[in-house]
Amino acid sequence: MSSITETIRSATPESTGKKDLRAEKANAASSEGAATDISSPEAQVDQVALSEAVMSTIEDAKFDAAKVEALRLAIMEGNYPLDAQRIAENMLDLERMINS
């Protein structure tokens, strides 16, 4: 049984022969950024400060690897039940929230 990491790695563009445009853009941006003088006023560093509530939620989060693996296998084997009616209703609810 393969892990989620192995599954993700097997689906990466390198293994499928597809180009990864995101990686190319990141490489281009980093090479352009390397030419930028860090001491210049244009060089900025973004920072994010998380609230204590968010930090405690992250620390208290539980990850059930067995459940995730069971779901992954069910999806891969085509045994994961999907309710088209429920999916459509949820999409409509989301659309209504966005438009209101």
pLDDT at 16 over 50: no
pLDDT of res. 63: 84
pLDDT at 67 over 80: yes
Give the mean pLDDT of 30-46.
Answer: 63
pLDDT at 74 over 60: yes
Q: Please state the domain extents for the chain.
A: 1-8+67-100
Q: What are phi and psi of 10, to 5 degrees?
A: -70, -20
Give me the percent of the chain exceeding a pLDDT of 90. 33
Give the mean pLDDT of 54-67.
Answer: 88
Does residue 43 contact residue 37 with C-beta atoms inside 8 Å?
Answer: yes
pTM listed for this prediction: 0.33
The Cα–Cα gap between 100 and 92 comes to 12
Give the mean pLDDT of 8-20.
Answer: 53
Residues near 40 by beta carbon (within 8 Å), at least 6 away in sequence: none
